Amino acid sequence: MNVLRRLIETVDAGTTCVLATVVQVHGSAPRRQGARLLLLANATREGTVGGGEVEAEVLEAARAMLAGGPDARILEMPTNCGGTVTVMLEKFGPPHRLLIIGAGHVGAVLALTGARAGYRVTVASPTVAERLADVAGIETISAAEPGMLADFEHPEVTQVVVATGNAEADSGWAVAALAGSFAGVGVVGSRTKAAAIRHAAAAAGVPPARVHTLRCPVGLDLGAVTPEEIAVSIVAELIRLERTGEVPEGWKRASRG
């Protein structure tokens, strides 16, 4: 039970880990079914699945998973005792988060779409977003200045989408987000707006490599027009980024600006 408690504490703290569980044993083995080992991203471990060659192979597989491998694996291994042991490995991490700046037509619909897609959504806006009140999976906060981004928890797993409807405000929020350690930054707007934001970010000292990660216009090129369609295109882009780490150039949302 201590291993499972540590797993919960680790994920709540924003750290990724791999849980290895002995799910089947045939013949002699150092540990029985239900034995667990937890490996954290910082190499800390808790528990054991038996030591020796079995544990060494499990740890090697767990490290590979933490380095970007699959989210789950099954290993079937012989033991020094003459039996076989089957171990299930599962990767756990903090929930992916979506921070939306602005609660206008696009922002509000995006919050609902993102929550339904499994994101933990926060909407930051100086105005009250009544339609989002008490919606499961959506947190609303009152914020008018980008300074609040400095205190946002777990930015490394948070995608930011800026949709205030005001070009100057969009630029201020986007530059602040790019200067932070957020997983990604997207802005609802045109390529003209994107160029202005990149210029402002560079002037503010944001490294060039980071500046060019800005996604503006944000979303896949689905021909979206309505707020609902734009929200779908944005969430589709986030899913693509999460699954593959990149968006092909031809998939990026087109703009008339």
Q: pLDDT tens-digit profile of 196-206?
A: 999 999 999 99
- Do 122 and 223 share a domain, yes or no? yes
Q: Per this entry, what is the length of the chain?
A: 257
| 108 part of a folded domain | yes
| 155 part of a folded domain | yes
- Do 37 and 106 share a domain, yes or no? no
Give the domain-ending residue among 52, 68, 92.
92
- Do 236 and 207 share a domain, yes or no? yes
Give the domain-ending residue among 64, 92, 120.
92
| β-sheet bridge partners, residue 19 | 38, 90
CATH code: domain of residue 130: 3.40.50.720
When divided into structural domains, the chain yields a total of 2
User: Whole-prediction pTM value?
Assistant: 0.75
Q: Which residues of the chain have pLDDT under 70?
A: 1, 128, 130, 255-257
Beta strands across the sheet bearing 120-125: 138-142, 120-125, 97-101, 158-162, 184-187
User: pLDDT tens across 117-134, in order?
Assistant: 989 999 999 876 767 877
What is the signed CA dihedral for 103, 107, 108, 109, rounded to 10 degrees? 170
Domain ranges, residue 140:
97-251
Model pLDDT, residue 192: 93
**Dist. CA 164–CA 107, nearest whole Å:** 8
| 257 part of a folded domain | no
- Do 68 and 102 share a domain, yes or no? no
Give the domain-ending residue among 42, 62, 92.
92
